[in-house]
Each structure stands twice: as structure tokens, then as C-alpha cells.
Amino acid sequence: MSTTTATTTTNLPHNLKPENLSTSNIPTSQLPQKTILDLLNTKCTTSLHHLKQAHAVVLKSGHFQDHYVAGTLVKCYANSPSSNLDFALKVFHYVPRPNVFVWNLVLKSCLDHNEAFKVVYFYYKMVVANSRPNKFTYPVVFKACTVTGADKEGVQVHAHVVKLGLHGDVHIKSAAIQMYASFGLLMEARQFLDDGQECDVICWNAMIDGYLKCEETKAAKELFDSMVDKNTGSYNAMISGLAKCGRFDEARKLFDEIGDKDEITWSSIIDGYIKGGYYKEALEIIDKLKIEGYSPNASKVLFDIEEEEKETALKYHSEKLAIAFGFINTNPGTTIRIVKNLRVCEDCHSATKLISKVFERDIIVRDRVRYHHFKNGKCSCNDFW
């Protein structure tokens, strides 16, 4: 005598939707979509326990068939306190016929977890699945191509943008300019400014930054001078680039001209002077910074510890403190490894390059975008991150 065990929604695991379960028999939830989304976007962002409970409710109620709910669930797992991208991708695997909203969340989650190669991989899976990418897709994909140095793939992605008629979007244009400039393809990058379509100040700043990172100071200056609307970012790109190219007088002139200085403005000129050996001038700027009462935004970092530290001066950024701690507690020649939960700031990036050269140490920093391997005064990212 055989017995049959019925599969009910009450004994389903919270973590995955079984492939052999028919969704046609799952009851529709009495909870509206908005309530589920509000729950996922509030309590579930800070509590893995609440997220698992919400996941169970989503599966039991049938809301997993809703792309916006399923996509938000994937995002929550990727950004949860456990920050489990692998599990988020497992959940994504069970989303039926994901739409562009879900795909975009997957791409962004991969990039946020320093998995740029996965961004390119899932983008091509997205294209093969005939899920039409939109204007929110391509800035992430271009950034991934920049980080990975995937020049051929980047050109192919650009062709897709043109085919879909999205090449006029300013966010896509600025990301594409950064990508082409990182490959050293400045003419291709400049075409985005000269195509006769709208370009905002971010696009212009990206092109200036690209010129200067390729040491094309004349082209950068001409473009900067031709700008009608400049912002703080425009000046910062010029100051930082000119200082790195050793043109300190021009950098200082622009520094003195700008009225609304931010953290990058101060750190760019100070770092430039220090790297060029102009310590007196660097101290002069630091003293001026103190007189004006400027305090840069805190950098929040992790060095194998749980708590976040806040600093109020450039020299006390946590990356620098972590490196100092590493020097104290390791033998000469030992590689120092640092983990950071936000993008490394430009000042710390430049300082770490200098430290790696002066003290002959390998320093590996992982921020939210990528790994940085500092060695002999250079970084593996080639100053694009």
C-alpha cells in the first residue's frame, strides 16, 4: 500500500523556490505589493532574520512571481548585513523570465561586490534572454568594462547602445567617456562630446579627467577653458590632473580661483605638492585648510574590525591608520591587506602608492568597487576606479 505525501506551501523552505513546484496553485496574497516592497526596503535591509521571514511570506503568497518583489528580494540579499551575493544569485536563478528591472539589480549588485567580470557575464545572458536593456543598464556595464579592462567587450556594448538609440543619455555618455579614456582611446571618448547631442557638465568633466590621466594636458586645458558651465568637479579634475603631471603653478592658480572647495580640492593640491617634493607649499595649504575651518567628510573603512571610524583630517583617514597599524604589527616585507566598505578616496589612493614605493611594501586594498594592489608606487587599477 503506497502513501502519497502532499506538497504544501507551509513546509516550503524559505530560501529557494523548488523548480518542480507549480506556481499556478499558490494562493494570491492578501497583502498588496506595496506592503511587501515596503517591508523589504525597510526592516529587511538591516536584519537577515527579517529578510528570511519576508522571503518565506513572498514564496507562500505567490508574490515571487512579481518581478518587482523578486528583484527587490535579490537586492536585499546582496545588500543584507551578511552581504551574500552568491545566495542572491541563487534566488535570482529561480525568478521566472526576469525583466529588465531584475537584471539591472543583478548587474548593480555584482558591481557593488567587486565582481565586474560577473557584470559582463550577466549582461550577455540578459541580451541572449531578449530582455531589452535600458538607460539604467549601461552605466553599470560600462563601469564594469572599465574596471576589468575589457576593451573589446566595451566596444560591443557601445554598439548595443547605439542600436537601441540610447547613446544620447548623459549618464551613459559619461560612463562611456570614462571607459574609452581608461583604454587610452581618447578620440573615441571625445566623439561623445562632439556628436551634437546634449552633454551635461559630468560628461565634460569625465573627458577632462580622461585627457589628464593620459597626460594630454593641452587638450584638457582647451576643453576646460571652452566650458560655459563649470562646477567644483571641473576644477577638481583639472587641479588633480595638473598636479599629477607636475604642473603645480597651473594647479595652484586654479586652486586659488575656486571659491567652493571640497575634500577633493584640498587633497588634490596637497597630494600633488607632497609627491612633487614641495613640502613647504603642502604645509602652507594644510595651514590654510585649518584656518578656514574646513573638515573633510569622514571615510568609513574596515580593517578586520566591525566598527566604523570617523576622522576629521586628511592625515587621519582610516586607510592610513590601518597601514600604520600594519607596519607596527608585521615584519618588513610583509604584504598589508585592508578591507574597506566604501570607495577609496583619491587622497588615500595617492598616499598609499607613495607609501608602497618608499617603504617597499605590497599593499592590497579592497574597496566596494575593486581590488587595488599597490606596488613600487603604482596601483593595479592604473588610477581608474
What's the whole-number mean pLDDT along residues 69-90?
86
- The per-residue pLDDT for 300 is 29
Give the count of domains, the chain: 1
What's the whole-number mean pLDDT along residues 115-137?
94
Is residue 349 included in any domain, yes or no? yes
Confidence band, pLDDT 50/70/90 cuts, at residue 342: low
Is residue 2 included in any domain, yes or no? no
Is residue 219 included in any domain, yes or no? no
Inform me whether the pLDDT recorded for 378 exceeds 90.
no
What's the whole-number mean pLDDT along residues 176-185?
93
Domain holding 374, by residue range, is 314-379
The 10s digit of each residue's pLDDT in 351-376 is 788 778 777 889 988 876 678 889 88
Greatest mean pLDDT among 220-234, 260-274, 283-297 lies in: 220-234
- The per-residue pLDDT for 318 is 61
Is residue 356 included in any domain, yes or no? yes
Inform me whether the pLDDT recorded for 23 exceeds 80.
no
Computed over its alpha carbons, how large is the radius of gyration of the chain? Answer: 24
Of residues 293 and 127, which shows the higher confidence score? Answer: 127
Is residue 336 included in any domain, yes or no? yes
- The per-residue pLDDT for 323 is 79
Inform me whether the pLDDT recorded for 223 exceeds 60.
yes
Inform me whether the pLDDT recorded for 12 exceeds 70.
no
- The per-residue pLDDT for 2 is 42
318: Cα separation from own chain's centroid: 19
Inform me whether the pLDDT recorded for 320 exceeds 80.
no
Are β-strands 371-375 and 336-339 bridged in parallel, bridged antiparallel, or unpaired? unpaired
Is residue 46 included in any domain, yes or no? no
Is residue 368 included in any domain, yes or no? yes
Is residue 12 included in any domain, yes or no? no
Confidence band, pLDDT 50/70/90 cuts, at residue 56: confident
pTM of the model: 0.67
Angle made by CA atoms 273, 277, 280, in degrees to the nearest 5: 70
Q: What is the mean pLDDT of the chain?
A: 80
Inform me whether the pLDDT recorded for 20 exceeds 70.
no
Inform me whether the pLDDT recorded for 313 exceeds 90.
no
- The per-residue pLDDT for 262 is 80
Of residues 139 and 329, which shows the higher confidence score? Answer: 139
Q: Give percent of the chain above pLDDT 90.
A: 34
What's the whole-number mean pLDDT along residues 268-280?
80
Inform me whether the pLDDT recorded for 316 exceeds 80.
no
- The per-residue pLDDT for 294 is 53
